[in-house]
Structure 1
């Protein structure tokens, strides 16, 4: 904790612990039990920075990545990431861009095939594709009853290669695995229908982080699967409290106290006087707000860590600032304050911060905005040797 003194720059940063990501990837590999691990790095690697995270994962042995969009995939290619990259959301109106970048599109319906095939023919290449089957998510994917027909159409097109097939779990983070097992049963029927037509895609994948952490009941229900597709767990977050795993948090969202002042009982704090002091107290102002990723809902509900103690966020979250009731604690200008993660200021899991704000950890991670510099660190809490990106 740093004492009072001038602050030369805006101190709000997100420290990304690459060693934690490597450790979590190793845990995914262990739990995959010989299956290939397709690491999901969409949405800037869940807010951590897609390029440095992808490079760290590849260096750790990861041989296949997944993103949501063609643009995300091309950004990795521009950073010299050479492993296969699966585009989970499909290529939409950018099939040629996807083919030029050597990306692997996921197809969800037959209308996507001809544009992809045309782009492949134009580039004189055969493009690998994966089919997503809708087994109960009802969001994207070919209906299970139509999957074999789509697979036949891909197999019949010389410019396309049916490299893989998958489905996506809707409820694998629940303690009742019945719905997930029903999805797997449906998916196995699709695989059987494909085999009856002489089609066996080389890569079969279903398990997301929740499915992988659920363990044997899920993994053994689909013996055909030879790959898993974790995302959230790579960043040190459990999809649900009952899914236990020795994961390490990969992001610490932190800032420093920029102002401390006293208020009296009845004094309002912040916009619209949504908080009034119940007693004489001290309010610390932090230079971080909803433009940086702090949910407005965290006002009067959330907390931050300063000096190893948790203090409540009070009043409305502003665009650039939040107010914290530090009471009589020895808090000074320049002290480190942590919104979630683990640092010298304390420990506050992102899951708890999300719960207090009425949201989920996924959202809290990805909403940390671009104006918050990411600091890459190979050791939790070590900032001296880190570099900004």
Structure 2
């Protein structure tokens, strides 16, 4: 089993395992929820292997993933982990709503603490940016929650470079969570350099391209009807053949390297810098074990160049979400002077 080293995330003192565990798929979005008992065994296995950075959100379920994590952390496990959760996205009448006003920030934090059954959240992210509320107003309330000891560190997810700068001026941001993989590289242009300039850690979600970088087109065949990946543009017939060809070249390289395609994809993310922590999700212990095997895969400058020639920026056909999802590209907020609390 690979040794999981510890890394500093950001500049405020948070240390996490160099690879985390995304917990979303245990409860939501990737098909039916998995049995709690099985997922608790998986979470304990991860912690015992040294993967102690757990990622959840109040929208996963909604709410059920936080409750699951709370159960898994009973019996002395809480002290062994760095726990990240998120607020800011909710379902209202079947629609996704983004909310970031100060009263909501506080109410969401209190509710997450209760569901997780803990006193303090290690890393609390704004999951998506509310474009109606100045980021300074949202951050002001998060800063109060830090001062009250309810959260230790503040993060943002899917935020633009300018939003990150404005937020960081109110209170230091410890981590920005964004989608980063060999398939999704648009954050490299502006957001990642901004994080590095400000000393902010980078948490890479979907580092396996939502399963495509580990399984190729096979992942599409095995999706249940309620798996939201079924509607993703990447996986639609008009894009699938092109994307499958990229995967096949990638898979050939993995075979030469003596690792799996998924391990090669994760190793690429790890080689982007010691300030980067990928958080692949899984619901199976054997897949988890494969994922931490990526920590043993060494890539030379020539290997990295070959990978980036196989999958340069914008090589993949299809948007990563489709038209309706909120991303960093629309995360600008009004000036604080416009805000009436």
TM-score calculated relative to the size of structure 1? 0.38
Considering fraction of residues, name the structure with more helix: 2
**Higher-Rg member (1/2):** 1
Indicate the structure whose relative CO is greater, using CA pairs within 8 Å and at least 6 residues apart: 2
Considering fraction of residues, name the structure with more strand: 1
TM-score calculated relative to the size of structure 2? 0.42
